[in-house]
Every structure is written in C-alpha cells, then in structure tokens.
Amino acid sequence: MSAHRSTRRAVRRSGRRGPRGLQALAAALFVVAALLPTASARAVEPGAAGAARAVGAVPLEQWYDNVAVSEDARPGAADFDGAGASLSARDLAAAGWTPGAPLTVQGARLTWPRRAPGEPDNVRAAGQSVLVEGRGDALAFLVAGTDGGDVRGTGLVSYADGSTAPYALTAPDWRTGPLATKAVALPHLNTPGGQRAEKTRLYVVTVPLAPGRAVASVRLPYAPGLHVFALSVRASAGGWTGSWAAAPSGLPAVGPWTDRTLRLVVHTSAGGPRVRLRFDNAFASAPVRIGGATVAVRAEGAAARGTPVAVRFGGAAGVTVPAGSQAYSDPLAFAVPPDSHLLVSFHLPGTVSALPMHRLAVQRSFVSTDGDHTADGTAAAYPTTISNWPLLTGVEVGGGPGSLVLLGDSITDGDRSTVDADRRWPDVLADRLLTQEVVPRYGVLNQGIAGNRVTTDRYPGDGVSTDAAGVSALHRLDRDVFAQPTVRTVVVLHGVNDLLAGGDAAQVTEGLREIAERARERGLRVLGATLLPCGGRSGCTTAVDAERVAVNDWIRGGGSRAGNGSRGGGAGSAVAGVFDGVVDFDAVIRDPQRPERMLPAHDSGDHLHPGDAGLAAMAGAVDLRTL
C-alpha cells in the first residue's frame, strides 16, 4: 500500500491537467507491475490475461497533459519545463514539423501531434498505459527531457500473446542534449520574457522488441521529466534486403542548385524483383522538396539502359521531406540486377544551398542543367559531375535473405581505391557472396565514413558543415545500422582515427564494446575486425602503434565470445568477450618483417589506406561462414 500511496502523491505533485484519476491509476498499476518478476519477457496464459493488462490503455494523445509549443507572440500559453519555457511554433513550421505532419525517423513512422500552439501536445511519463499495436523490431519514442540532463526510466511492453517485457528509455535534455543524435534542432527558445536565440532539441529514441510478437500496449516509465510526443512500433523490413547504402556524413553547402536534377550512380550488391529508395534529410534545419524521382539500370556515364521508371511517394510523384526526417518511395516492380550500376535521378524544384550527403563516393555522379530531367534516357542534360551522394541513403530490393552492415571509416568507405571501379572491400565481399553457396547471398551495406571516429563527433550534427567526417559511430549506430533493412550481421572495423587523434586503446575498446552490446540487444551478430597498421604515415608514431596493437589484442582475445569466433577455430574463439567472431585484417595486410607497416603490395602509397589489391585481400580474409 505504501508504494501505491507514494505513487499517488507523486502524481498529484506533478500538477498535470489531464484525466488525473486515470493517470494516478496508471501510475499505481505501473508500480505494481514493476514489483512483479519481469526480468525478461514473462510468459503468462494468453487471452484473458493479456487483455487484462491492456485495461486502461488509450491512445497516447488522450494522455497529453503538458503544453510544449507556443506562438512567438504568446509564449505564456505553453510551459514545457515547469519554468515557462517552450518550443517555437514558427521554428517547428520552418522545419516542416507542422501539426499532424508525418515524420519518418530511423525508419520509424511517427506523427507530430495534431495540436494547435497552446494546446496539450505531449505527456509527462508517469506510468500511463498507451494503446500501441503492431509487429516490428523496435518501439520508437519521440521524446525530450526537461530535467537538465538525461532522463531515464523503465516501462513495460505488453504483447498480444499475454507476455510482457520491461524496456529502458532515456530522453536527452531539450536544451543540453547532444545535437549529434537529435531528430530536429530549433534555433529559438520561447520564454515568458521573450524569445531567446538558444537551440532546442527533440529526439527519436528506439528500444528493441521481442522478435515476431505483436505489441498490444506500452506502459510508459515513471519519470515526469521525460516528455513523450509520439510513439509507434517500427515495422520490421521483412521482405526487403538492403542492396546499397551510404551514411550521411554532414550537411555541406552545395550549388546553390535551383531547378536541377541529380543523377546518382550506385552499385548494387543483392538483386531483386522490386525496389524502393530511401532519402534522408538528416542534420537539416529545413524541409527539402523532391519533385519527382526515377530509377534505371545504367548503360554508361549518365545514360540509362532503357527509359528510367518513375517511383512514387505515397502515390504522389514527389515528396517534401521535413528536417531530420526520411522519405521512402513506394515499392516498385523493377528488376534490380545484382552487382550492377543503377541511376537514381531526382528533381529538386526549389533552391537548395545545403544538403545532407555522403562526401566520399569514389564514384562520379551527375547534375543536370535547369529542369526536371528524371525521365531522360540520355546523358545530354547532365554536363556536371560530382563525387558525392547527396540525400540518397538507401536502395532496397524485394525478397532476399537480408543484409550485412559494414561499419567503419575511410578504409571501409574505399578511400584511395580506384574511382568508378567498385573496388572497396565491401564491394569485393559482395562479389564473393554472389558466387558461393555456403551462406545466403546477403546484401552488403557499406556504412563507412572517411575520417569517422568511434567515440568523438567530427561533425557536431547540426548546421552547415565544413567537416564531413560525420558524427561518431556510437551516435550514428541507430540510423546507420539498426534501422537498415533486415540486418543479420554487423562487421565493425573502427578506431584508427581515434588513435591518430590522440585517443587510447581503452577509449576505443570501450566504444567497440558498447557498439557490440547494443547490436546484440537487437539480435544481431557482431564481428570485430582488427585495425590495420599505419607505420610510415605522419602522426602514426610508435606510441600510436602500441595503442593499435592493444586494441587488436583485445579484439582477438577478450573481445570475442567463447566458441563463436572463426568457425575453423583460431584467434577469437577461445576467450569469452563481446564479439561473436573476429576478422583479422591486420594479419592479412601487415608486413611480417615490419608489422607496424602494411605490405608494400597492399599499400595505396599513403601508408594508411590499402590500395585495390589490399582491399581485395581484406575481403578475401572474411570467413563467410561467420556472417
């Protein structure tokens, strides 16, 4: 009874203006549920028991009890943080976050509250039971904290089969949280004393679900400083395999381009009978309009083999992508050949002066003269070449066995490999998969970013960027790995940039450990790859090499899980640790006579990046049976 009384007192102290009696009841029920043994999904009798847990569950908007958004002229109409501060409705509209706007972030479909400024538009988490239904791989929460730091709490998922499972949720602070992981940042803070030029942030946070189970309801944590604006089940991408991907590495200035068509050349791994495209307006502060888009198999240069085929977006020819959001095209019956080049063309009818992009494409793409040239089969309208991939982040094909994600830096990105030749080690690995029968012919997704680090953001995650090395691997993990279609295995080759920048082995291995642990929570297999030598490179000192050797010793020994390393035994299979297996790139690339250096035949000449021969050797070193 004391737990019930303290919960009711906490509910009254929070001063909510919603259905108070129901909220108090929900909070009390949350405490009772938390006292039950639910360390993992707890099986109970299906049917009536499961239905009983959903009693009191209502759609999230019925729990709204807090006002976060105000008109600039009437800031007193909202009080998001208990001190009278609020979000600017004008800033939200400028970002494309208007009432009722659909938002897709990290592959999850959410809706910005359909509420006018000054109306309740979010709920302070206090154990409310929310009606949320669907099957998927994760819950997605649109949240922010107002306690001055991260706000954490534990809630409960109820599944339709009657089982339940706890989940942990962390909401970064709306004024001090990291820009690198925000869904959107706004330039102003509304206060009772007027508007201030101070950034505010909103976040999308995902938590994994039990595979294959249908969600019936979700009980929010008890953490009143944690505000929830929207909640959904992220549908799993079953039926889709990733064939090509590129990670956004920044938001650089472009053009400016007005009424131009971009024709991007991408190299497929897996093939399939259907296709859909993914565009990502990551890091942006304003929406971007795509007037139309097509896909075609490339003949040569910017010329298509046949007539490019139009894709649709929710049945429409074009789409507006809000700041921080994604757009997926509708599935299209289009035969995508494996190991081939596609032309993805999209028209930008407005003026664009900055776009999220992947900077190092190692592939020439094209920009048109004025006009919509998405349907052009010839190259005549595409006189200008670019060496990056703006806005487009994924090509998915129907069917197939799922995807591998290769997470890394410039070595995975293909720096110093031959331009337009598809000789990055992920490309060579994809070719190997297509010509064997030992394991499924997975799609291979290259999520390397040149200059990227494990633990430190090179690009802060907001604003027009001059540094295109991206946010840290830890900060981009949800978007670039977990939200990819039907991921099976992650291969992590990361850390040399951290060491060259003055980091140490302990920092790198702790970051790699977190990557592996978070991936395994999602049911993914994780392989750790040893770091390549860089002797002879400026800055690659004896001390740096000693840290690299320490990282590699950890990966080969304590960084692997017992019995799950290379299936032929050897390094990585003897000691309990964090990885499911080890790919020993160092052993393949280093010079046996000078192990701090690459073999000359594998060195591109800069002593950091392998050339084409070295990249091929790396791909050949992967034991396909471990994937």
Q: pLDDT tens digits for 311-344? A: 999 999 999 999 999 999 999 999 999 999 999 9
- Helix, strand or coil for residue 48? helix
When pLDDT is averaged across residues 520-536 and rounded to a whole number, the result is 96
pLDDT 10s digits, 480-514: 999 999 999 999 999 999 999 999 999 999 999 99
Q: At 299, list the tokens.
A: 């003949």
CB 139: neighbour CB atoms within 10 A? 23
Q: What size, in residues, is the chain?
A: 627
pTM here is 0.90
Decide if pLDDT at 40 tops 50. Answer: no
**Spatial CB neighbours of 4, under 8 Å, sequence gap ≥ 6:** 28, 31, 32
Calculate what percentage of the chain has a pLDDT beyond 90: 86
For residue 205, the surrounding DSSP H or E stretch is strand 200-208
Give the pLDDT score at 54: 60
pLDDT 10s digits, 248-265: 999 999 999 999 999 999
Decide if pLDDT at 35 tops 80. Answer: no
**Taking Cα atoms as reference points, which of 192, 190, 123 lies closest to residue 155?**
123
Decide if pLDDT at 74 tops 80. Answer: yes
When pLDDT is averaged across residues 426-449 and rounded to a whole number, the result is 97
Check residue 571 and report its DSSP letter.
T
pLDDT 10s digits, 137-189: 999 999 999 999 999 999 999 999 999 999 999 999 999 999 999 999 999 99
Check residue 146 and report its DSSP letter.
-
pLDDT bin (cut points 50, 70, 90) of residue 560 is low
Question: Is CATH 3.90.1150.10 correct for 401-627?
Answer: no
Residue extents of the structural domains in the chain:
2-234, 245-397, 401-627
Decide if pLDDT at 41 tops 50. Answer: no
- Helix, strand or coil for residue 253? strand
Say how far apart CA 553 and CA 559 lie, in whole Å: 8
**Taking Cα atoms as reference points, which of 107, 282, 125, 137 lies closest to residue 207?**
137
Query: Hey, what amino acid is at 20?
Result: R
CA dihedral 420, 289, 324, 65 (to 10 degrees): -160
Please give the distance of CA 527 from its chain centroid, rounded to a whole number.
Answer: 19
- Helix, strand or coil for residue 298? strand
Q: Is the model more confident about 297 or about 570?
A: 297
pLDDT bin (cut points 50, 70, 90) of residue 11 is very low
Give the pLDDT score at 577: 77
pLDDT bin (cut points 50, 70, 90) of residue 525 is very high
Give the pLDDT score at 44: 32
Q: Is the model more confident about 381 or about 44?
A: 381
pLDDT 10s digits, 52-69: 346 689 999 999 999 999
Give the pLDDT score at 15: 36
pLDDT bin (cut points 50, 70, 90) of residue 588 is very high
**Spatial CB neighbours of 541, under 8 Å, sequence gap ≥ 6:** none
**Spatial CB neighbours of 242, under 8 Å, sequence gap ≥ 6:** 270, 394, 395, 396, 403, 405, 443, 445, 484, 485, 486, 487
pLDDT 10s digits, 80-127: 999 999 999 999 999 999 999 999 999 999 999 999 999 999 999 999
Angle at 577 between CA 574 and CA 580, to 5 degrees: 80
Q: At 563, list the tokens.
A: 């019995």
Under 8 Å between Cβ of 547 and 507: no
- Helix, strand or coil for residue 606? coil
End-to-end CA distance of the chain, in Å? 52
Say how far apart CA 565 and CA 559 lie, in whole Å: 10
Give the pLDDT score at 241: 97
For the chain, the C-alpha Rg in angstroms (whole number) is 25
Q: At 216, list the tokens.
A: 């019936």
